[in-house]
Homo-oligomer: A and B are copies of this chain.
Amino acid sequence: MVIERRPLREQIRDELMERLTRGEFAAGTDVNEAVLAAELGVSRTPLREALITLTGEGVLESNQGRGFRFAPVSRKEFRELVAVVAALESLALESSDAAHLRKIAPELLRLAQGFPDPVAEHAVVDRRDDEWHGLLLSGCPNERLLDLLTGVKAGMRREPVARESEEHCEIARRLLEDDLPGAIEALKANWVGGMERMLAHIPQE
């Protein structure tokens, strides 16, 4: 049995992301380091380290003397992030092994058809969607790309995702037919569509 030993800052980072997806932190609110550290049962030092990594990922922003705050994603930024994610996922799909894609296509279709109702709890929908996209990109050998993707996606995880089961099915079907360009097109359409649906929930600035 291997005892896992990770630096506190990483555990804290994960915990904060977890809480963020559970909606515990409202966008725009600033972090009180002492309070949060006490709540987590750690000192300010590793907490600040975690906050700094999250700042690098765009989840937080920092101002000199004013500490950290949860970065509110404006409509503009949201569009920007979606464009980036769409491009990166396309690249990932493009550089994936064709045989592997063929192999996982049925599973993707099955999962997409079994997607929970859109009105289900956000956390559940999120997890399922993550799972699906994770499987979709599981054949991508570009590890740096995948790392980058998780980071960028973390920066978007503020508003509930609003994905469409049908669009996912479409992607899976294209892959079943060995139509990679078509799948990429469908993937981009999925992001654009998802973006429009999500923007409906983000207030005008």
Contacts and interface: CB of A to CB of B under 8 A. Distances in A.
Interface of A: 5-7, 9, 45, 48-49, 52-53, 55-58, 62, 64-65, 77, 80-81, 83-84, 87-88, 90-91, 95, 142-145, 147-148, 151-152, 155
B9 A52 contact: yes
The A interface, classified by DSSP as helix, strand, loop or mixed, is helix
Contact of A145 (B6, B80, B95): B80
Copy count, this protein chain: 2
A144 B77 contact: yes
A58 B144 contact: yes
Contacts of A84: 88, 91, 142, 144-145, 148
Nearest to A73: B144
A7 B67 CA distance: 10
Contacts of A9: 52
Given A5-B64, A56-B57, A77-B144, 16 more contacts: A6-B64, A7-B62, A45-B45, A49-B52, A53-B53, A56-B56, A77-B143, A80-B142, A80-B143, A83-B95, A84-B91, A84-B142, A84-B144, A84-B145, A87-B90, A88-B88
Contacts of A142: 80, 83-84
A181 to B, nearest CB: 16
